[in-house]
A = this chain, B = another copy of it.
Amino acid sequence: MIVIKVGGALGINYDLFLQDLAGLVKNKNQEIVLVHGGSGELNEISTKLGKPPKMVTSASGHVSRRTDKETLEIFNMVLCGKMNKMIVEKLQQLGVNAIGLSGIDGRLLVGKRKNIIIVEDGKKKIIRDDYTGKIEEVNVDLIRLLLGNGFMPVITPPGLSYENEAINVDGDRAAAIIASSLKAEALVILSNIPGLLKDVDDESSLIKEINKEEIDDYMQFAKKRMKKKVMGATEALNQGVQKVIFGDARIENPITKALEGQGTVIQ
């Protein structure tokens, strides 16, 4: 069993990615759970709808997408509607019986809604209408029920809070906890870069191998969205996933190549 996370950034070639995925499922009988994001499309469509993305920095320095109820509706439209169904349709065309689910469906991904505390005019202030959080529990039975009946789960945020509210959660870290909950042998995280880079502007500075005991030393190289990927990798490895690979989603056979070691392999 492997868990694959594919990003939602522009530049990713979903057709090549899904062809590779379908080949692994059909020819190699590989058991796969797919997790996806949709940040690129989300920024575009929320801007079109007059609600451009806004990031918020908490008092502790953590950056997240400001997610009020209206943003969450657009989030659901883009991730659960556009991206998830686009992927499911293409997989059906490739002969894979995919089934798309968000984290709120069947209580698939449940976690804690965060209190976003910001500093304004030197005073700490809680943003009350923000729906952001972190997944802590995975409904493994539901995933196994679907896999056992011949369906491939295609999973997307949002997750569900303990108070039963939809919450914006990070896809990489959701994939990490899904992988560890399923005791997956590998977690493959694909995005629009070749892996973890020493110099974010130089794709030839790829870090090819990391010993999992030393992963903390590499956090310094993780910029922007890569931070969450390295955090997710650390969480997955700490919870028993044997191997995490950061690979390039823009190339042909991106999963096969990542599994062969192209990218950043952490084990």
Contact = CB atoms under 8 A, between A and B. Distances in A.
A111 to B, nearest CB: 14
Which of A85, A107, A160 gathers most chain B CB within 10 Å? A85
A82 interface: yes
A55 interface: no
Interface in A82-104: 82, 84-86, 88-89, 92-93, 97-102, 104
Contact of A82 (B73, B151, B164): B73
A85 B104 contact: yes
Contacts of A145: 145, 149
* Main SS at interface, chain A: helix
Contacts of A100: 80, 101-102, 104-105
B81 A104 contact: no
A196 interface: no
Contacts of A76: 81-82, 85-86
Contact of A89 (B81, B141, B164): B164
Nearest to A108: B99
Contacts of A80: 80-81, 84-85, 100
5 contacts: A45-B77, A76-B82, A89-B104, A92-B107, A106-B151
